[in-house]
Structure 1
Amino acid sequence: MASIFTKIVQGEIPSYKIAEDEKHFAFLDINPNAKGHTLVIPKKEENKIFDLSPEEYKDLMNFSYRVAKALEKTISCERIGMSVIGLEVPHVHVHLVPLQAMEDIQFIKKEKLSQEEFISLAENIANNFE
């Protein structure tokens, strides 16, 4: 059965897309820790990050780097934090979280955004993606 992330990549479930290439997809987390919290995934469904080949892992990190740079240009923050946990969805995903404080990366506090805010934010980040 396809993961929720595979369904997002295939367009079966809507998302606030940031960027995409032939192997990767980045979109805003709909339950964000902070404004701009983004998920970066390989399009290939793989459960665990260290089950990716070394080349796939490097490609995912390179794509995540580019997304993080777009986030830095868009969101005022101290830095972009990165976390790979992977327990909640059986599909490799990198969390990129704009950080003001350590609590922003602890997955406890959540930010509330309207649909209009999500759309505007996704467009602004996408415009800074290189």
Structure 2
Amino acid sequence: MGKNVTFGGGVPVGGWYSLSVYPSGSYSYSGHMHDSGAPSYNFAGVCVVRFSDGTAFVFQTSGRMHGTFESGSRDYNWSRSASRKSIRDAWRASGGGWSARCTNKVNADIGALVDSTIQAVGYAAKVIAIVA
């Protein structure tokens, strides 16, 4: 799954993210955000993949983009690829059944964002965090 990201309310931040999860247990979570305005912003991104066996995997990232009034990069990029036996096992136990939800915000509490995104995919018997 992948998507372009924009924010309302005049927030001059935008970009994209991509998450791929495979039956082998491998995954890739990457993205790019850019601040084109004067103020700086903190970005938080969370994707939750919940398999039908009740195991949920939380892919999360956070970083800062600097605006005109602060020195530093206007961009926040992330990329993480690896393989987890627990993903392969959950995929097999679920017969490939899954649901997913991604949420992206600026200047938000990452913990609250993780909690609300997990709730959006339904009951999770087990939650496994993956930080990018």
Normalising by structure 1, we get a TM-score of 0.32
Q: Kindly name which structure, 1 or 2, has the bigger radius of gyration based on alpha carbons.
A: 2
Question: Higher helix share goes to which structure?
Answer: 1
